[in-house]
């Protein structure tokens, strides 16, 4: 499943604070995006078709919930990015970032810890 940039915006809101109504989502995003209620409805409909969100009817409103876990969406997006930009090669991506000095000392230390942990995990 691939989420568009707009779908990511909506999913972030739902992961942070679900359930939310169309009106709540529209109010939250209006200043940043300029989206109308109809735009939000269109996104939510596509996201329902993708099985990323679901809704429950309460009174006259639909309460939207995420189905797709945030960690799963992040994993899929990361894999897609890695395939698209670096032909699926993590080493190539890290080499590029190191060459461009994209890491702070703190980030390099964190990366070392991650790699050390990965080497110990069966």
Is the domain of 11 the same as that of 49? yes
Is the domain of 44 the same as that of 10? yes
Cβ atoms of 18 and 7 closer than 8 Å:
no
pLDDT value of residue 95: 85
Which residues does residue 64 pair with via DSSP β-bridges, in sequence order?
20, 55
pLDDT value of residue 75: 94
pLDDT value of residue 117: 87
pLDDT value of residue 121: 63
- Number of domains present in the structure of the chain: 2
Say how far apart CA 104 and CA 107 lie, in whole Å.
Answer: 5
Is the domain of 29 the same as that of 80? no
Is the domain of 114 the same as that of 62? no
Is the domain of 57 the same as that of 76? no
**Residue where one domain finishes, among candidates 41, 66, 91:** 66
Which residues does residue 58 pair with via DSSP β-bridges, in sequence order?
61
Is the domain of 45 the same as that of 90? no
SS3 3: coil
pLDDT value of residue 96: 87
Give the residue ranges of the chain where pLDDT is below 70.
121-122
Cβ atoms of 62 and 53 closer than 8 Å:
no
pLDDT value of residue 13: 97
For 79, the token pair is 């894999």
Is the domain of 83 the same as that of 101? yes
104 lies in which domain range? 70-120
pLDDT value of residue 111: 86
52-80: pLDDT as tens digits: 999 999 999 999 999 999 999 999 999 99
pLDDT value of residue 122: 60
The CATH number given to whatever domain includes residue 17 is 1.10.10.10
Among 90, 80, 81, residue whose Cα is nearest residue 118: 90
- State whether the Cα torsion 89-93-99-103 is positive or negative: negative
pTM here is: 0.80
Is the domain of 82 the same as that of 113? yes
Is the domain of 29 the same as that of 61? yes
pLDDT value of residue 25: 97
């Amino acid at each position: 499943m691939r989420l568009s940039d707009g779908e990511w915006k909506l999913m972030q809101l739902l992961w942070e604070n679900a359930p939310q109504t169309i009106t709540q989502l529209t109010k939250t995003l209006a200043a940043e995006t300029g989206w109308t209620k109809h735009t939000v409805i269109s996104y939510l409909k596509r996201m329902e078709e993708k099985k990323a969100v679901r809704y429950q009817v309460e009174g006259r409103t639909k309460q939207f919930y995420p189905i797709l876990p945030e960690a799963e969406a992040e994993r899929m997006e990361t894999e897609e990015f890695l395939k698209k930009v670096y032909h699926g090669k993590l080493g190539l991506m890290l080499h590029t970032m190191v060459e461009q000095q994209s890491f702070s000392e703190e980030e390099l230390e964190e990366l070392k810890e991650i790699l050390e942990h990965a080497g110990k995990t069966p």
